[in-house]
Amino acid sequence: MTKLNRRMLEKAQKTETIGIFDGLSVVGNVKGSHNLFLNGQFEGKIDLTAVLPVSKTRKLKGKVKAEHVIIEGEVEGKVVANEKVELREGGKYKSEILAPSVMISDNSFFDGIVQMLKEGTQPPPISTKIKLPAEIEESKESKAS
């Protein structure tokens, strides 16, 4: 186990965990210091100083900021992590990731961009927008006209 994984595991075990469970669909904003286990549907903004695991067959659409994000389900939207983002086998992700460490497993789906941050560097605010390649092309085309 790497130093990063051991540190995150120890922190996660010391932090209380709350959950959005199967059968629940939440629209809104969540901010806090507890781990949030997503086993339901969520649309909105999540701002945590803890771990966010998104379980298999679950969906999250919106902006996420957390220490460590684990994606086994489907996520669409910007993800900013202070430690690590893991896109595990079977997981689907679309948009942009900002994190010092990113793991994309075989048999997962990734459509977007990754910006690696130096460890210990504060990520930009969650509202910061990075242009996706399609947006850059559209911008060039409109300037050329």
DSSP 8-state symbol, 141: H
The domain locations on the chain are 3-144
Quote the pLDDT of residue 3: 44
Q: CA 42, 113, 53, 50 torsion: positive or negative?
A: negative
Give the whole-angstrom CA distance, residue 103 versus residue 79.
13
pLDDT in tens, the chain (145 residues): 344 455 555 555 567 888 888 889 999 999 999 999 999 999 999 999 999 999 998 899 999 999 999 999 999 999 999 999 999 999 999 999 999 999 999 999 999 999 987 766 666 665 545 555 555 566 666 666 6
In terms of Cα–Cα distance, which of 25, 100, 22, 88 is closest to 62? Answer: 25
Q: Which two tokens stand for residue 137?
A: 């092309």
Quote the pLDDT of residue 32: 92
